[in-house]
Amino acid sequence: MLANIFGTSPVQPLVNHVHISYKCVRELDGFFGAVIKGDWDSAVEYRNRITGFEHEADDLKKEIRLHLPKSLFMPVPREDLLELLLVQDKMANRAKDVSGIVLGRKMHIPPVIAAEFQEFVKRNVDASKQARKSVRELDELFTSGFRGAEVSLVESLLEELDAIETDTDDRQAALRASLFEIENEIAPVDVMFLYRVIELIGEIADMAERVGRRLELLLSH
Amino acid sequence: MEAQYIYIGLAAAFGLFMAWGIGANDVANAMATSVGSKALTIKQAILVAAVFEFLGAVLAGGAVTSTIRKGIVDADLLVNSPELLIYGMLASLLAAGTWLFIASKNGWPVSTTHSIVGAIVGFAAVGIGIDAVQWEQVATIVVSWIVSPLTAGLIAFLIYLSVQRLILTQEDPLTQAKRYVPVYIFFAGFTITLVTLLKGLKHVGLDLSLTNSYLLATGIAVLIAIVGFIFIQRIEPDPKAEQKQHFHTVERVFAVLMVVTACGMAFAHGSNDVANAIGPLAAVISVARSGIVGSESALPIWVLVIGGGGIVVGLATYGRHVIATVGEKITQLTPSRGFAAELAAATTIVIASGTGIPISTTHTLVGAVLGVGLARGIEAIDLRVVGRIFVSWVVTIPAGAFLAIIFFFILKTVLP
């Protein structure tokens, strides 16, 4: 009977979820590498892995929600944890969406901006990795009651996350500018979709930053 | 005179069965915290439980046994019909055993203590008369059932808060843990030893003066703290595990402390819960032997030994499985949290044992765990289950009473 008063702790599942979500995003780097090279066979393989991880993240999300009933008494509001879960999941969703569009239209990345484009993708992957690193501190945060040295540690991780996100914003602006330079040479529909893809990739870092915001909210309780 | 052997034999059989049941089921709650937090292996836990449950039962179990035996029923009313007390106590043991069986079949969280007290009150009030119940004493017990989880919760809350302040929120938690954990060990050893010396040992025939008790308790506690200190100094950080969990090594320091509190918890459990099994047995024995109710004869030590032995057998035969199962489920109680809950519960229970009040060990522990939770220490507590525990708290008393009344009238007809 003593055992049953412990509800299923959401901490480890949340950490697992952000890990899967990150793994999903990470595949984008290889995916765009293949797309730039025009290697559609391996692009399809990357895309399959991305959808696989996205499904896995989705299933885990449902599972966590199921085990987080309203009757749980937790040190932090249940809503904040569910919100954290939601933005973690959105990182994976964006990776799936963007790879779907690129593959569906067999999009061609202009060689002039290819290197810059790949770097931009990498920085977004970095942002999601930093989000994972921050969420991994949840367990320690719960143990220390959301106070003291652990909080400062997480705050510094989140500052770094913000810095990465700002960097992706800058790169996004630069990439748009570079695309603008050459947009007359590309078919208008393709240009529109390139802008769209750049925007979607940039949203991954935005979501990672929102993961950070949610963690910050937990700290302030 | 034939009959008295039947009574004693029956009471011993029922009492042993109860003790076995306590060892098989109840002890799990007391020990699983240590197993769940990996402070002890199952084998070590069984060993610790066996030794300290037994010591607790024999050294400090006397006062609560006296209460169950003669504190609830007003024996003066039974001077002319001593056999009624025998039937009643047998019926109470049967009723509590039956109720516990039904409850555990259905997974209801009921308390051994509540069942037996409910049963005794039931048979006395209906079988003998409302006046036969010492209501004042019963009121004290019932109030203590509310107060004990609250007290344990408050103590656990304060202990865990101090752990967070002094150790977990500091820049270098490991150094802080190595510094403060021996102090916690001292307090754990001191409190439990002192209460036992002051309140419990009278029944064993040892009567120390107040000063001597304090000195002895301090001495024992210092000794335990030194041993703990030596073990703690040997703990070296494991960088690989540290990277995954910053508190990994800190928790290993707390695990040493938890070994001490686990001993305390087993001791406390033995001191309070053995009475549920052997209190009625002791009552039957004293009446059956002397034929007089309310005789002032002291509680024979061997009865306590039987109770302690029964618990150990239950533990060895069946309890290990229950400990393993429960232990797997309560991984949320890491040593730093588990020790706070155990120390708070053990202290509360030992004080109750010394005062002779039968309380529920498990409910006290649940209160302590909630206290740690209030200090924002536990990731998730299921309030529905806490609610269910409260409901079964209330239901158990009339259920035990009702069954005891039925058994009482059956026994009254059947037995000579």
**Residue B408 confidence class, pLDDT cut points 50, 70, 90:** very high
B64-77 average pLDDT score: 84
The reply to whether A1 falls in a domain is no
- Using the predicted structure, report yes or no on whether residue B223 has a pLDDT greater than 60: yes
Number of structural domains in chain B: 1
Instruction: Answer whether residue B265 is part of any domain.
Output: yes
User: Which residue in A has a C-alpha nearest to residue B323's C-alpha?
Assistant: A3
Identify whether A5 is part of a domain: no
Summarize pLDDT for A32-85 with one digit per residue, the tens: 999 999 999 999 999 999 999 999 999 999 999 988 888 888 888 888 999 999
Range A192-218 burial, b when 16+ CB lie within 10 A, else e: ebbeebbebbbbbbbbbbbbbebbeeb
CA distance to partner chain A, nearest, from residue B393 (Å) = 12
Measure B368 CA to nearest chain A CA, in Å. 11
Q: Are B285 and B300 in contact (CB under 8 A)?
A: yes
- Per-residue pLDDT of B298-311, as tens digits, reads 677 778 888 888 88
Output phi, psi for B236, to 5 deg: -110, 140
Specify if B105 maps to a domain. Answer: no
Higher pLDDT residue, B35 or A174?
A174
Which residues of chain A have a pLDDT value below 50? none
Contact A6 B380 (CB under 8 A): yes
Q: Which two tokens stand for residue B227?
A: 């041993």
Q: Measured between CA atoms, how close is B342 to chain A, in angstroms?
A: 12
The shortest CB-CB distance from A75 to any of B32, B365, B376 is to B376
The Cα of B333 is separated from the nearest Cα of chain A by a number of Å equal to: 9
pLDDT digits (tens, 9 = 90+) for B353-372: 888 899 998 889 889 999 99
- Mean pLDDT of the residues in chain A: 92
Question: Residue B200: which of B212, B190, B192 has the closest Cα?
Answer: B192
Q: Which of A46-55, A169-178, B194-203, B329-338 has the lowest mean pLDDT?
A: B194-203
Least Cα distance to A88 among A53, A46, A52, A120 occurs for A53
Which amino acid, residue B14? F
Residue B72 lies in a domain: no
Answer yes or no: is B132 within a domain.
no
Q: Quick check: is B94 in a domain?
A: no
Q: Is the pLDDT of residue B273 over 80?
A: yes
Name the residue range of residue B353's domain.
14-66+146-398
Helix (H) or strand (E) holding B77: none
Q: Note whether residue B92 is domain-resident.
A: no
Chain A partners within 8 Å of B362 (Cβ): 1-2
Residue A221, SS3 per DSSP: coil
Looking at residue A28, its pLDDT comes to 95
Residues of A with Cβ-Cβ distance to B338 under 8 angstroms: none
In a domain, residue A43? The reply is yes
Strand partners, B73: B133
Determine the distance in angstroms separating the CA of B100 from the nearest CA of chain A, rounded to an integer.
13
**Domain presence at residue A3:** no
Taking an 8 Å cut-off on Cβ atoms, the answer to whether B377 and A143 are in contact is: yes
Residue B332 clears pLDDT 80, i.e. is over it: no
Tokens of B297: 């004869």
- Over residues B11-40, the mean pLDDT reads 82
B247 closest CB neighbour out of A69, A75, A140: A140
For residues B299 and B383, the model is more confident at B383
Q: Which residues in chain A are contacts of B384 at CB distance < 8 A?
A: 69, 71
If you average pLDDT over residues B27-45, what whole number do you get?
81
Work out the pLDDT band at B240, boundaries 50, 70, 90.
Answer: confident
Q: Is B375 on the interface with A (CB under 8 A)?
A: yes
Residue A134, in any domain of the structure: yes
Q: Shortest CB distance from A1 goes to which of B29, B337, B370?
A: B29
Domain containing residue A71: CATH number: 1.20.58.220
The answer to whether B372 faces chain A, any CB pair under 8 Å, is no
More confident residue, B10 or B106: B10
Q: Which of B33-37, B82-86, B256-260 has the lowest mean pLDDT?
A: B33-37
Q: For residue A143, what pLDDT is reported?
A: 83
Considering just the CA atoms, what is the radius of gyration of chain A in Å? 19
CB-CB neighbors (< 8 A) of B164 in chain A: 144-145, 147-148
Least confident range of A60-64, A88-92, B278-282, B325-329: B325-329
- List the domain range (segments joined by +) for residue A50: 10-219
Does B129 reside within a domain? no
Question: Higher-confidence residue: A35 or B193?
Answer: A35
Contact B373 A73 (CB under 8 A): yes
Q: Does B367 contact A at CB distance below 8 Å?
A: no
Residue A143 lies in a domain: yes
Contact B376 A71 (CB under 8 A): no
Tell if the CB–CB gap between B380 and A3 is shorter than 8 Å. no
Asked whether the beta carbons of residue A5 and residue B170 sit closer than 8 angstroms, the reply is no
Q: Of A113, A217, A209, A220, whose CA–CA distance to A167 is shortest? A: A209
CB contact under 8 A, B336 and A143: yes
The percent of residues in chain B predicted with pLDDT above 70, rounded, is 94
Half-sphere exposure of B361 (CA within 13 A, CB side): 30
CA distances from B136 to B72, B73, B123, B133, B264 (A): 9, 11, 17, 9, 30
Structural domain contains residue B300: yes
Question: Average pLDDT in the B226-243 region?
Answer: 83
Question: Is B162 in CB contact (< 8 Å) with chain A?
Answer: no
Looking at the structure of chain A, the number of domains it has is 1
Q: What is the pLDDT of residue B294?
A: 55
Which residue out of B382, B393, B395 would a mutagenesis test of the A interface target, given it has the greatest number of A Cβ atoms within 10 Å? B382
